[in-house]
Amino acid sequence: MGPASREGGPDLLNLAGMLRRFPEILVLCLLATAGALVFVKNDEPTRPPAVEQATATTPRFGPKPDPDDPHTWQTSDQVPGELAPPAQPGQRAVLSRTQRFTYDPVPGVNITGWDARTPRGPLRYYVTRVKWKTPGLAVDVAHGGRSRKVQPVPDMLAPIPGVVAGTNGDFYDISDTGAPLGIGRDRSGLLLNALDSGWNNAISQNSAGKWHVGTLPMVAEIVGHPEINVTNYNSARVKVDGTGIYDYRFGRAAGWGWTDEQTRNVRWIRVVDNKVVATGTTLPYRTGIEGTLIVARGMVPSRNLAALTVGSTVRVKRRLDGDVQMALTGNALLLKKRQLLATDDSEMHPRTAVGVDRDTKEIIILVVDGRQSFSRGYTMVELGNLMRRLGAEDALNLDGGGSTTLAAMQDDKLTVINTPSDGFLRSVPNGLVVTYNP
């Protein structure tokens, strides 16, 4: 208020001015109390930095993936990821990082854990480097002997001779058959599952020891019947208008799970010793697979398969294209010749990735924790950029989310190194394993 008059009352002119400005004063007081404005020396209000605004808002989540289009999946569990705050121009990707631990479980293998502080939130990740030229070292596909058998990563790794470390592997049909979506072939020569196209981005090694990250198709046929297009081998599902072949390596028959519950225009035949011994239109369920089961899905494939009646001679051939010793697929290439191929910089998830550094002759396996207060997870673009900073020329995204698991030998014991986001170990069908047998 203004100074008191000689009679002891307020200055009426100043009081009137105050009343006129009352709405403005009230708004300023409320905003200042809420901490929404920061005052500087000239009393002019200014907004806080954009990052602080972003971290103060309620988390937003990405759209739910289309279950009929696996290429839209971020993870097998299809949980929408928290959306990352937009990156600011010139903003550093990592503000600081601290090494949590580093050790060499065997010659040629190093495992290092990191905590990082980033503008988008805290992060924890683990880097496993494998010098593949080291005598006795190998990187292979881990599995339980059946395509659809799922189990926690440590249980999968424990029986493998010379196991050093391993992670989860391919995306899989988590809600139905449990089988992987792509390709799995181990060094023993066992092709566990494959398909002709559509989920074929793989890391593979040939018999000369050369590593490849890129598309890897299956080549399959029913000899003498080019009209039958074989699209799948021990896959989670048969492609629409395709034909799948299944044997005991798949595990128990999955019934209509093979056709996404499609029951019309479906036909199967059973082949034993290269002879058709049975046919039908109702898919077997939860039974062992004797011989080879061939399943057609769609009007034309079903009609073509119907021509193979009981007693017909049928010989099935399937292989991976080229000289392949081991192969495992993921859903997306992150890097090719050091060029970033990932485009999604929005959804943050736990991640698992593998890459090749040909300069140092190292396989790089990266595991990023996420969906937790101490680690937000990574977007696909961030994952690709980190793999490039780690030295990878080519890199592949494997399954993430609650599947992301790193287990390694520590003090002569196979130990889970990271913190899986489910709060428990998820069961998965396959993985990558590092072994050392000098």
**Which of 30-34, 305-309, 330-334 has the weakest average pLDDT?**
30-34
What DSSP designation does 180 have? Answer: B
DSSP states of 199-212 as a string? Answer: S-EEEEE-TTS-EE
pLDDT at 306: 97
Mean pLDDT of the chain: 89
The Cα–Cα gap between 402 and 167 comes to: 12
Q: Which pLDDT score, from 0 to 100, does residue 273 have? A: 98
Residue whose C-alpha is closest to residue 401's, from 201, 125, 158, 171: 171
pLDDT at residue 240 greater than cutoff 50: yes
Confidence of residue 379 (pLDDT cuts 50, 70, 90): very high
* Average pLDDT over every residue of 37-52: 33
Q: Are the CB atoms for 324 and 181 separated by under 8 Å?
A: no
Mean pLDDT calculated for residue range 274-303: 98
Give the model's confidence band at 68: pLDDT under 50 very low, under 70 low, under 90 confident, else very high.
low
Q: Are 18 and 10 in contact (CB under 8 A)?
A: no
Q: What are phi and psi of 250, to 5 degrees?
A: -70, -35
Number of helices followed by number of strands (H, E) in the chain: 6, 31
Quick one: how far is CA 155 from the chain centroid? 20
DSSP string of 242-277?
A: EEEEE-GGG-S-BGGGGGTT--SSEEEEEEETTEEE
CA–CA dist 301, 242 (Å, integer): 6
- Supply 32's token pair: 């200042």
Mean per-residue pLDDT for 260-277?
A: 98
The pLDDT score that the predictor gives to residue 58 is 63
**Separation CA 185–CA 213 (nearest Å):** 15
CA dihedral 369, 129, 190, 78 (to 10 degrees): 20
Average pLDDT over residues 46-72: 57
Least-confidence region, from 68-82, 137-151, 344-358, 386-400: 68-82
Question: Predicted confidence band at 38 (pLDDT cuts at 50, 70, 90)?
Answer: very low
**Average pLDDT in the 328-352 region?**
97
Rounded to 5°, angle at Cα 197 from 299 and 273: 65
Residue among 237, 234, 249 at smallest CA distance from 70: 237
Mean pLDDT of 58-71: 74
Residue position matching structure tokens 């398969």: 305
Maximum Cα–Cα distance across the chain: 121
Report whether 140 contacts 437 (CB < 8 A).
no
Structure tokens at 226: 């080019």
- pLDDT computed for residue 70 by the predictor: 66
Under 8 Å CB-to-CB from 271, ≥6 apart: which residues? Answer: 277, 291, 292, 293, 294, 314, 316
pLDDT digit string, tens, across residues 135-194: 999 999 999 999 999 999 999 999 999 999 999 999 999 999 999 999 999 999 999 999
**What's the average model confidence in pLDDT over 38-58?**
36
Residue type, 420: P
- Is the pLDDT confidence value at 20 over 70? no
